[in-house]
Structure 1
Amino acid sequence: MRIEYNEELRMIKDEILMMSAMTEKMLADSVQALKSQDCELARSVIERDDLVDAKEIELQLIVSQVIATQGPVATDLRRLASTLKIITNLERIADMTVNISKRVMELSDTVYMKRLVDIPRTCDLAQTLLKLAIQAFVHEDISRLREVVDLEDEIDALNMQIHHDCLAYMIDNTKNIHQGSVFIFVGSYLERIGDHATNIFETVFYIITGDYIDFNDLDEETIVRIIETQKKIEAAGKED
C-alpha cells in the first residue's frame, strides 16, 4: 500500500509540474503579446485557459481519491490537502494571464505612449518566483525563502513604478488615459501573480513545518532562523 501511495504522490507532483509549465508559458506569452501587440498570441493564451481549468479539476479529483482510498494522517494528510491550494493558485495565475491577454485586444490599434520596460521586467520576476515556488514544492525545500521574499518585494516596487509612470503620462496627455489605465491594470495582474506564487511557497512552508506564516510578517531574524533550520535538516538527512 505504501509503494502504491508513493507512486500516487509522484504522479500528483508530475501533474502539478505540467500544470505549472502550462501556466508559466501562458504568462510569458501574454506579456509577449502585449509587447508586440500580437492579438493571435493573446487569443491562444485565452484558449489555453480551458486546458488549465480542466487540469485543475482532474487534479482535484485525483487528490480527493487518494485521500479517500489511502486514509492519510498527520504529515501525509497535510501534504495532500495542501496540494489542492497549490493547484488553485496555479489556476488563478492562469486567470491573470487571460486578463492580460484581453487587455492586449483593447490596445491592438494603439501606438504605445512608451516602450514597455517595467512590465516585461515584472513578468520575468514573477516567472522566477513561480519557478522557485514549484521547485520548493517538488523538493520540499524552503531554503530559498529569502529569494522569494525579495522577489515579491521587487514585484511590488515595480508595480508601484508602473502605476506612477503611467499616471504621469496620463496627466501629461489625456490621450494616454486609456492605455495608461490598461498598463496599470497589467501591472496589478502581474503583482497578483507574484502573490499567488508566494502563496504556493507559503503552502510548501506549511507542508514542511506544520506552521502557516504570512511572509509579509517575516522579519530578518525569522528568515535567518528558518533558513538555518532547513540547512540543518538537510545536513541531518545526508548523514542518515
Structure 2
Amino acid sequence: MRTEYNKELKMIKDEILLMSTMTEKMLSDSVFALNTKDVELAKTVIDRDDLVDAKEIELQLVVSKVIATQGPVATDLRRLASTYKIITNLERIADLAVNISKRVIELADEIYMKPLIDIPLECELAKKLLKLSIQAFINEDISRLRDVVDLENQIDDINEAINHECMNYMMEDANNIHQGTVFCLIGGYLERIGDHATNIFETVFYIVTGNYIDFNDLDDETINQTLGLE
C-alpha cells in the first residue's frame, strides 16, 4: 500500500509541476506580448487558459481518488489535502496572465507613453518566486523561506513604483490616463501573482511543519527562529 501511495504521490507532484510550467509559460508570453505588442501571442495565452482549467479539474479528481482509496492520515492527509490549494493558486495565476493578455489587446493600437522596464522586471521576479515555491513543494523543503519573503517584498516595491510613475504620467498629460490606468492594473496583476506564489510556499510550510504562518508578519528574527538558526 505504501509503495502504491508513493507512486501516486509522485504522479501528483509531476502533474502539478506540469501545470506550473504551463502557467509560467502563459505568464511569460503575456508580458512578452505586452512588451512587443504581439496581439496574436496574447490571444494564444487566452486560449490556453482552458487547458489549465482542465488540468485543475483533472488533478482535483486524482487527489480526491487517492484520498478515498488510500485513506491517508496525519502528515499524508495534510500533504494530499493541501495540494488542492496549490492547484487553485496555479489556476488563478493563469487567470491573471489572461487578464494581462486582454490588456495587450486593449492597448494594441496605442503608442506606449514610455518603454516598459518595471513591468517585465516584476514579471521575472514573480516567475522566480513561482519556481521557488513549486520546487519547495516537490522537495518538501522550506529552507528558502527568506528568499520567498525577499522576493515578495521586491515585487510589492516594484508594483508601488509602477503606480507612482504612472500617476505622474497621468497628471502631466490627461492623454495618458487610460494607458496609465492599464499599466497600473497590470502591475497589480503581477503583484497578485506574487501573492499566489507565496501562498503556495505557505502551503508547503504547512505540509512540512503542520503550522500556518502569515509571511507578511515575518521579520529576520522570526525567520531565523523558524528555520532553526537561533
Is 1:210 aligned to 2:204, yes or no?
Answer: no
Deviations 1:146-188 (A, max 9, x none): 0000000000000000000001001101111111000000000
Alignment partner of 1:166: what SS? Answer: helix
Structure 1 contact 49–98 (Cα < 8 Å) conserved: yes
Kindly provide the CA deviation profile for residues 99-136 of structure 1, in whole angstroms up to 9, marking residues without a partner as x.
Answer: 00000011000000000000000000000000000000
* Displacement of 1:220: 1.3
Partner of 1:62: 62
Structure 2: how far apart are the matches of 1:105 and 1:192?
Answer: 21
Separation in structure 1 between the aligned mates of residue 38 and residue 174 of structure 2, nearest angstrom: 25
Distance in structure 1 (CA, Å) of the matches to 2:123 and 2:219: 26
8 Å CA contact 1:144–1:227 kept in 2: the answer is: no
Give the TM-score normalised by structure 2: 0.99
Aligned to 1:46: 46
* C-alpha separation in 1, matches of 2:167 and 2:34: 19
SS at 1:228's partner residue?
A: coil
The letter of the residue matching 2:213 is: I
The gaps in structure 1 that reach 5 residues or longer are 230-240
Q: Which residue of 2 aligns with 1:232?
A: none
Secondary structure at the aligned position of 2:227 is classed as helix
Letter in 2 for 1:28: S
Q: 1:219 deviation in Å?
A: 1.9
Unaligned runs of 5+ in 2: none
TM-score (norm 1): 0.95
Cα offsets for 1:198-235 (capped at 9, x unmatched) = 00000000000000001001121110122236xxxxxx
What is the aligned residue count?
A: 230
Partners of 1:124 and 1:147 lie apart in 2 by 14
Share of identical aligned residues, percent?
A: 72
- CA distance, structure 2, for counterparts of residue 104 and residue 191 of structure 1: 18
Match in the other structure for 1:185? 185
**Corresponding residue for 2:221?**
221
3-state SS of 2:110 partner: coil
* 2:191 counterpart letter in structure 1: E
- Once superposed, which parts of structure 1, at least 4 consecutive aligned residues long, lie more than 6 Å away? none
* Contact 1:170 1:180 (8 Å CA) reproduced: yes
Aligned residue number for residue 131 of structure 2: 131
